[in-house]
Amino acid sequence: MDEKKQAIDQTTFENLLYLSRLSPDSTNVEILAGQVRQIVDYFDVLSQYAGDENPYDAYPSTTVENLRPGEVRASLEQTEVRKITNEFMDGYFRVPKVLGGGA
């Protein structure tokens, strides 16, 4: 690992606390500082495997000619939507819950 590690200064650490909505009074700052150091060390490990290639080369580029045409099409009418599901009320229809609450 690199001998000259960049340490997180106090101002940067306070900004991280602010951005994460943590206050020094509500959390153990020493434990949190240790966790931040571990994250920074992990980025040092990842940088060892970084190559010189452009990371955007992994994704194929698309030209404007290959995009679908910008044609305006009619959408479904409310009567058609009502035929699809009986979970229709007040102009909307209910869909399955995707994100669950806490355990």
Tens digits of per-residue pLDDT, 12-66? 888 888 888 877 787 788 888 888 888 888 888 888 877 777 777 777 778 888 8
Q: What is the DSSP string of the chain?
A: --SSPPPPPHHHHHHHHHHTT--TTTS-HHHHHHHHHHHHHHHHHHHHT--SS-GGGGS----GGGSPP--------HHHHHHH-S-EETTEE-----S----
What pLDDT digit, counting tens, does each position of 64-100 carry? 888 888 888 888 887 887 787 778 778 777 777 887 6
pTM recorded for the entire structure: 0.40
